[in-house]
């Protein structure tokens, strides 16, 4: 069952770290999504941001990169007992990776009702899969949404030649 609890200070603190990662992505011309993973004791295991343009890799989403880092940090692909903080609801690919990594909890800021791995596809809680992940949404939602909206507003304002090959705007109404 999804967890919609009151935002406690650890959630806010770690989401601010994810927001810093999102701002680094924005500065690099990437879609501004940031992620951090912490263990049950609150130790930071990983932090990453979208790098699909930089790495020329369609799977280089913040969540996937953070999962890879966290697995290396703990020496196991199973990330039981960890929490992933992400500025935007995971896409279906990332939600699948979260389930496969057995991450216990996901906290995100901005929901994505049209493309989200939970809002649209319910992947994190699918009973047909081998693991279910609890989640909390809406943590620092306005700040997370502002970063994405600012990025795509700048993309729309840029001359076409500058944005050719760059991230398409999946949020035309943002």
Between CA 45 and CA 75 the distance in angstroms is: 11
User: In 29-76, which ranges are continuous DSSP H helix?
Assistant: 52-55, 62-74
Between CA 170 and CA 71 the distance in angstroms is: 30
Measured over all CA atoms, what is the biggest interatomic distance in the chain, rounded to whole angstroms? 48
Report helix, strand or coil for 172: coil
- Report DSSP state, residue 104: S
Closest CA to 131 of 169, 78, 71: 78
- Report DSSP state, residue 136: E
Q: Which of 63, 89, 127, 142 is catalytic?
A: 63
- 63 is an active site residue: yes
Q: Which active-site residues does the annotation give? A: 63
């Amino acid at each position: 069952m999804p967890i919609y609890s009151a935002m406690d200070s650890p959630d806010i603190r770690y989401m601010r770290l994810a927001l810093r990662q999102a701002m680094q992505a924005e500065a690099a011309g990437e879609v501004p999504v940031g992620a951090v993973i912490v263990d049950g004791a609150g130790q930071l295991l990983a932090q990453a941001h979208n790098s699909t343009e930089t790495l020329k890799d369609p799977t280089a989403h913040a969540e996937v990169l953070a999962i890879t880092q966290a697995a290396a940090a703990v020496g196991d692909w199973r990330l039981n007992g960890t929490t992933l903080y992400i500025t935007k609801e995971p896409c279906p690919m990332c939600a699948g990776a979260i389930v496969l990594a057995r991450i216990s909890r996901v906290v995100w800021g901005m929901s994505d009702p049209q493309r989200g791995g939970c809002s649209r596809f319910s992947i994190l809680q699918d009973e047909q899969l081998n693991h279910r992940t609890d989640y909390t949404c809406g943590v620092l939602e306005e700040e997370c949404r502002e970063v994405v909206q600012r990025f795509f507003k700048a993309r729309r304002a840029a001359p076409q030649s500058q944005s050719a090959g760059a991230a398409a705007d999946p949020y035309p109404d943002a």
